Every structure is written in C-alpha cells, then in structure tokens.
Amino acid sequence: MAHISDKDKDYLRKEFGKMKDNVKLVYFTQKFECQYCEMTHEILGELAELSDRISLEVYDLVNDKEITEKYNIDKIPAVVVEGEKDYGIRYFGIPAGYEFSSLIEDIMDVSNKSTSLSAETKKALASLEKPLHIQVFVTPTCPYCPKAVRMAHQMAIESDKVRGDMIEATEFPHLSNHYNVGAVPKIVINDVVDFEGALPEPVYLEKVLEAEGRELSSRT
Amino acid sequence: MDSISFNVSKEIEVENLNEEYDIVILGGGPAGLTSAIYSARAKMKTLVIEKEIIGGEAASTDLIENYPGFPEGISGMELAERMEEQAVRFGAHIVYANIDSLDLKSQPKIIKIDSKTIKAKSIIITSGTSPKALNIPGEKEFKGKGVSYCATCDGPIFSGKDIAIIGCGNSGLQEGLFILKFVKSLTMVEFLPTIQAEKILQERMDTHENVKWLLNHQITAINGKDWVSSITVKNRENNEEKDIPVQGVFIYVGLIPNTAYLGEQIKLNKWGYILTDEKMATSLPGVFAAGDIRETQIRQVATAIGDGAVAASSAQQYIENM
C-alpha cells in the first residue's frame, strides 16, 4: 500500500514542479535488523517517482563502506538530501509523521539553493570558523519538532561549516539515553550546548554561536 | 496519526511583509485563523503573526473529537493546517516571528517584529494560553528529564515506562489515552475528589487495566537524581503521604493566558485573561480579543472559532467606521 495518498501526490507533483535543480536522496540501509528501514525506503521511492528532478540512490551501511564513510553515516535508516553538493542535511530514523514536511521543504530548498533564514542569520552563519554539528532529537508525533529540524537543515544549506541531523529519538535509544532526551525537540550542538523547544530563529542562532564560542575558547 | 503528515510552510518571510495591514492577528491558533479567514474574505489586508507553530494548544492534541464535522475525530495539527490553508487561500499572510514591541493605543497600531515595523488599523489578540506549572519541588529541575507538558511530543520516549499524569480534566484524560499506546502503566492523579473530564473519556480509560486512579490526592514533589524516579502524593482526606515510583510525569493542571507581552495596555481579569464584551472588543478602541486568551466559560476549539468570527466582523466594522 502506498504511504503517500493520491491527493498528497497531486499536491507534491505541483510543488516539485517549482524545483530548479535536481535533488538526490541518498539512502542508507541494510538487509536485516532495522525496524523502519523498509518503510523509509518505500516513502523515498514514492517521492522519487513524483518528479524527474528527484533521484534515489540506495546503499548498504556495511557493504558500501566507502560511500558511508564519505557521507559520515554511522546508523540507519539514514537519508542525505543532496543538491549540487552535500550540504550536510541528514535524517537518521524515518522521516515520517510531521517530519515528512521537513523532508519536502528540504528538497525544495536544496533544489532552489535558498532558505527563508533572515539576512542577519545568513551573515552570522557566513562568519562561522569551526565545524558545527547540530543534532535535533524528535518524535514523529511532535508538532513542534519540524521547526527545529528545519532550522538546523537551513543552517546547513547556508553554511558549509554546519551539519544538521534529525534523529528520531525512539529509534536510537542509546543516543537518546546518552543525551538524556526526555523532551523533544532536543537540540545538541557539538556536545557543548543543548536546549529544548522550537526556539525562534534569533534565539536558535544565539545557541549556535554560543556553541562555536565555547568550541573556540576550549581550543585556544 | 497517519504515517505521513505534511504541511509545506505557507509562511511569508518577514522581509516580504507589507508595511501596512488592515487587521493584524496576534496568534495562529483556531481563533486567530478563523479571524483571518473571515477578515481575508472581507477583503481586509490581513496578517497573522505566530511565534511558534500554527494551531496553538490544539496543535498538540492527538485527537479532537468534539469539534463538529469530524465524526471520527481529527488531529489538532491537521485541523490547524486545514484552517491555515483556508486562511492563505483567501489571501491572509502568515508570518512566524516574535513580537519585539507593540503599541495598541496609537492609531494606527504599531507592531515591531525582527527589524520590521508594521502598521495596523485594528488588532485581534488570539495568543491563547500555555500549560500551567505546578510549582512544586522537582518540577523545574526535572523538566525534560521526565517532566513534560506535551504527551504527543514526548509520549513515545516513555515507551515501556511507568508514568503519571497530573490532572484529570479533558486534557489529562485525552493525552492519557494517547500515552497508553506506549507506556507500561499510568497513574492518574487528581486534586479534586472527582474526575473532571468528559464521561466518554473516563469510560475509555476504564477499558485499560494498567491505569490507576489517585483522586483527592495532591502531588507535593517530583523526585529523582538525574531523572525522575518517583512522585510524592498526599491523600487529602487523611494527609498521608506516599511515594509512587514513576519515570515520567505529564502535567495537565490548567492553563495560563499568554498576555505578558501586552504589558499593561489592556484590561485583564485577576487571572490575566483579557476582558471583552460580546463583540470581542477589549478596553482599547480597535483592539479585539478572541479564543482562550479572553475571559470565557470554556476553552475549546468550537468556542474559539465562534470568537474568531465575531472578532473579525467587529474589527471590520471598526475599520469601516474610522
């Protein structure tokens, strides 16, 4: 059975009609022992069928070692949304529930090489000196989470220094335990700053800059 | 919820906003979106400013069953997305931003968001409510470490755990039914001697064998080391206290109005809710309020919708008579 309804497919075809450049969904899986891998694969397959501009490549976490290392993938299911380059957009866990919206919006932004971040945010991101790894823990039933995921992904599009991971908290309990995730969205930046909630853009940016500041000061 | 749920953002970027609007609506919950639908259809230039997510408190409700027209119920978020789509279809603008400053007394009214100044002939305040805190020891300390106010967000994290819900009103039971999909056991704690929620919700809860009720009990502390490990409750009949081992506490003990950003510009009741007349007019000319944020008997999607329609009509009349 299809995961995306016919009505939604019609809407998405129209939306994808606005895409400027091609987008590649790079999907990492393995044959066994992954609860949501099959469903994630099916959802991505259905999406790729909706537009000639969207392609899907599938790799095995263990057997395609070179590719997994290139994209720095250590857990599955994993999805990379890639445009003219790998911007650092990652989904770990199924991009279903409310996170499906994040995936669609990411595809559009990557294709059009633009985000809705403000000029101030873009300027601040352009001055980043150190790599920043933003991990956003979510659940598929959390309505506030896509906002936090999209912020991380848009920042990744705007800055080569930023990598943004969506992590579905219930699929990776070891990570959720490690980061003490008890409320979502929970955002962890370079393991030095963490916060909860769908914060407005200027406040989110402050946290990103705070993480960089701490990184810089700890290294000097 | 369906395995796929999507709502491609319909927001407008702050930079692309007009400098002047007829009606600016503060808050994108059911009341605000209804005002936007009515106001946009009246060909008023309409802007909705939302600070967080569309749908307000309703958006984090797993299933809304008492809003007419959806016999099987509808998720709060889906209902909100449909309203948003409807408002945008008729020409309303929606922006996600924090309000930096607000002058309700001037004419036109002045709203500053980010670096933009917006003028409005009339304003409708629909910024709703937030969950009320218990203010007991351990609550703040364990927020995000076992203490939560959003079952739809955090419920799945507590899979296989023993948890407690504080408050047996409609929200407590509705979210309890959602959380029962994941948890091992659920203890429902209610300060009053009786359950306040709709009977139909109580009946559904009674079909679950892993639900325990502690009525007429007051929660006095949330305990733990790095994470919640128990709650302390006091039996209000005999004042006996006991600890109940739980790894999660979800709090549904009422609401507080989101009026702090309004300062002292507008008349509120002693609990902070905005006072309005039957036209949703507030103490200031050209400023209206609708939905959960105003003094009203019940706070439901159905009542917010009615308020929103009335407020839009009143704002329109106000502008026409200017």
Chain A / chain B CB contacts < 8 angstroms? 115
* Cβ(B45)–Cβ(A190) below 8 Å: no
pLDDT exceeds 90 at position A217: no
The residue in chain A having the minimum alpha-carbon distance to the alpha carbon of residue B13 is A116
Return mean pLDDT, chain A.
93
Q: Of B251, B278, B312, which residue constitutes the final position of a domain? A: B251
Residue B231 domain-assigned?
A: yes
* Closest partner CB to A143 (pick from B14, B53, B226): B53
Q: Give the integer Cα–Cα distance in Å for B283 and B297.
A: 19
Do B106 and B189 belong together in one domain? Answer: no
Q: Give the integer Cα–Cα distance in Å for A5 and B195.
A: 40
Cβ neighbours of residue B114 under 8 Å, at least 6 residues apart? A118, A120, A202, B14, B97, B98, B100
Do A146 and A176 belong together in one domain? Answer: yes
Other Cβ atoms closer than 10 A to B88: 19
Do A71 and A131 belong together in one domain? Answer: no
Do A164 and A150 belong together in one domain? Answer: yes
Closest CA to B233 of B158, B167, B145: B167
* Closest partner CB to B98 (pick from A3, A141, A200): A200
Would you call A97 and B1 a contact, using CB atoms and an 8 Å cutoff? yes
* Cβ(A28)–Cβ(A61) below 8 Å: yes
Cβ neighbours of residue B146 under 8 Å, at least 6 residues apart? A182, B222, B224, B227, B228, B246, B247, B248, B249
Count of domains forming chain B: 2
Do A10 and A60 belong together in one domain? Answer: yes
Distance from CA of B175 to the nearest CA of A (A): 12
Return the minimum-mean-pLDDT range out of A27-41, A43-57, A65-79, B147-161: A27-41
- To which residue do tokens 């605000």 refer? B32
Residue B8 domain-assigned?
A: no
Q: With contacts defined as CB-CB under 8 Å, which chain A residues touch B152?
A: 141-143
* Closest partner CB to B53 (pick from A116, A140, A144): A144
* Cβ(B77)–Cβ(B167) below 8 Å: no
Other Cβ atoms closer than 10 A to A84: 12
Cross-strand pairs, B164: B187, B249
Q: Give the integer Cα–Cα distance in Å for B155 and B150.
A: 8
Q: With contacts defined as CB-CB under 8 Å, which chain A residues touch B60?
A: 143-144
The rounded Cα B110 to chain-centroid distance in angstroms is 25
Q: Give the integer Cα–Cα distance in Å for B320 and B219.
A: 53
Q: Which tokens hold the place of A52?
A: 């000639």
Residue B222 domain-assigned?
A: yes
Q: In percent, how much of chain B has pLDDT > 90? A: 89
Residue B5 domain-assigned?
A: no
Q: Which tokens hold the place of B144?
A: 């995000």
- To which residue do tokens 């039957």 refer? B278
Residues, chain A, total? 220
pLDDT exceeds 70 at position B7: no
The rounded Cα A119 to chain-centroid distance in angstroms is 22
Among B5, B11, B247, which would you mutate to test the A interface (most chain A Cβ atoms within 10 Å of its Cβ)? B5
> Of chain A residues 165-194, which have a CB less than 8 A from chain B?
169-170, 176, 180-184, 186
Q: Which tokens hold the place of B274?
A: 């905005």
ipTM over 0.95: no
Do A127 and A220 belong together in one domain? Answer: yes
Query: How do residues A147-194 score in pLDDT, each as one tens digit?
Result: 999 999 999 999 999 999 999 999 999 999 999 999 999 999 999 999
Would you call A202 and B114 a contact, using CB atoms and an 8 Å cutoff? yes
The rounded Cα A202 to chain-centroid distance in angstroms is 20
Based on its alpha-carbon atoms, the radius of gyration of chain A, rounded to whole angstroms, reads: 17
Residue B6 domain-assigned?
A: no
Q: Of B221, B251, B281, which residue constitutes the final position of a domain? A: B251
* Cβ(B81)–Cβ(B58) below 8 Å: no
Residue B196 domain-assigned?
A: yes
Chain A interface includes B13 (CB < 8 A): yes
Give the pLDDT of residue B1. Answer: 45
Give the pLDDT of residue B60. Answer: 87
Query: How do residues B251-278 score in pLDDT, each as one tens digit?
Result: 999 999 999 999 899 999 999 999 999 9
The rounded Cα B164 to chain-centroid distance in angstroms is 21
Cross-strand pairs, B242: B233
Do A104 and A171 belong together in one domain? Answer: no
Average pLDDT over residues B168-186: 95
Q: With contacts defined as CB-CB under 8 Å, which chain B residues touch A183?
A: 143-144, 148, 150, 153-154, 157
Chain B interface includes A196 (CB < 8 A): yes
Question: Which residues constitute the domain of residue A16?
Answer: 1-114
Based on its alpha-carbon atoms, the radius of gyration of chain B, rounded to whole angstroms, reads: 21
Better-scored residue on pLDDT, B45 or A7: B45
Q: Give the integer Cα–Cα distance in Å for B57 and B127.
A: 10
Do A110 and A188 belong together in one domain? Answer: no
> Of chain A residues 58-77, which have a CB less than 8 A from chain B?
none
* Cβ(A155)–Cβ(A125) below 8 Å: yes
Give the pLDDT of residue A215. Answer: 65
Query: How do residues B218-244 score in pLDDT, each as one tens digit?
Result: 999 999 999 999 999 999 999 999 999
- What is the set of active-site residues of B? 150, 153-154
Give the pLDDT of residue A106. Answer: 97
Would you call A141 and B1 a contact, using CB atoms and an 8 Å cutoff? yes
The SS3 call for residue B220 is strand
Q: Give the integer Cα–Cα distance in Å for B2 and A3.
A: 9
Cβ neighbours of residue B189 under 8 Å, at least 6 residues apart? B164, B165, B166, B167, B168, B214, B217, B219, B231, B233
Better-scored residue on pLDDT, A212 or B266: B266
Do A34 and A140 belong together in one domain? Answer: no
Query: How do residues A91-104 score in pLDDT, each as one tens digit?
Result: 999 999 899 999 99
Give the pLDDT of residue A220. Answer: 46
Do A61 and A132 belong together in one domain? Answer: no
Do B78 and B143 belong together in one domain? Answer: no
Amino acid (one-letter) located at B62: D
Closest CA to A19 of A50, A64, A42: A50
CATH number at residue B231: 3.50.50.60
Distance from CA of B285 to the nearest CA of A (A): 31
CA distance readout (Å), B203 to A92, A147, B173: 39, 36, 10
Among A141, A168, A194, which would you mutate to test the B interface (most chain B Cβ atoms within 10 Å of its Cβ)? A141
CATH number at residue A62: 3.40.30.10
Would you call B144 and A98 a contact, using CB atoms and an 8 Å cutoff? no
Give the pLDDT of residue A34. Answer: 84
Question: Which residues constitute the domain of residue B287?
Answer: 14-130+255-320
Do A92 and A15 belong together in one domain? Answer: yes
Do B107 and B197 belong together in one domain? Answer: no
Q: Which tokens hold the place of B222?
A: 């949330």
Average pLDDT over residues A119-133: 93
Do A199 and A133 belong together in one domain? Answer: yes
Q: Of B213, B236, B251, which residue constitutes the final position of a domain? A: B251
Average pLDDT over residues A208-214: 89
- To which residue do tokens 């995961």 refer? A3
Do B30 and B75 belong together in one domain? Answer: yes
Count of domains forming chain A: 2
> Of chain B residues 234-273, which have a CB less than 8 A from chain A?
248
Would you call B156 and A4 a contact, using CB atoms and an 8 Å cutoff? no
* Closest partner CB to A101 (pick from B6, B153, B154): B6
Do B206 and B283 belong together in one domain? Answer: no
Return the exposure string of B219-255: e unless at least 16 CB atoms fall within 10 Å of the residue's CB, then b: bebbbbeeebebbbbbeeeeeeeeebebbbbbbbbeb
pLDDT exceeds 90 at position B12: no
Which pLDDT band holds residue A80 (cuts at 50, 70, 90)?
very high
Do A144 and A100 belong together in one domain? Answer: no
Give the pLDDT of residue A214. Answer: 73
Q: Give the integer Cα–Cα distance in Å for A162 and A86.
A: 11
Return mean pLDDT, chain B.
94
pTM of the model: 0.89
Residue B7 domain-assigned?
A: no
Do B170 and B241 belong together in one domain? Answer: yes
Give the pLDDT of residue A218. Answer: 56
Residue B48 domain-assigned?
A: yes
